[in-house]
Amino acid sequence: MTIMMNAIKEARRNKQLTQKQLAELVGCSASYIYKLEKYRAIASRKLAMLLAQTLDIDPIKILYPPVKDSDQKPAK
């Protein structure tokens, strides 16, 4: 089983930022960063761009997170 780390969380850790620090840099709450990292919220395009710029990652990784194989529906 392969576990993929959330792109925001991985980049945040690489930059040695806490959720609170990242939230302050992009203008949202630490609890919202937590939700984004747990896939419990979806970033707006504006926030995705701010996060991508702050974390030096492709905004596509934020806007379109990977889908687990078990989440994909079989073709009909």
What digits encode the pLDDT tens for the residues 13-30? 999 999 999 999 999 999
What whole-number distance in Å separates Cα of residue 8 and Cα of residue 28? 14
Evaluate if residue 4 carries a pLDDT over 70: no
Confidence band for 2, pLDDT divided at 50, 70 and 90: very low
Percent of residues, the chain, with pLDDT higher than 90: 74
What whole-number distance in Å separates Cα of residue 4 and Cα of residue 29? 24
Evaluate if residue 1 carries a pLDDT over 50: no
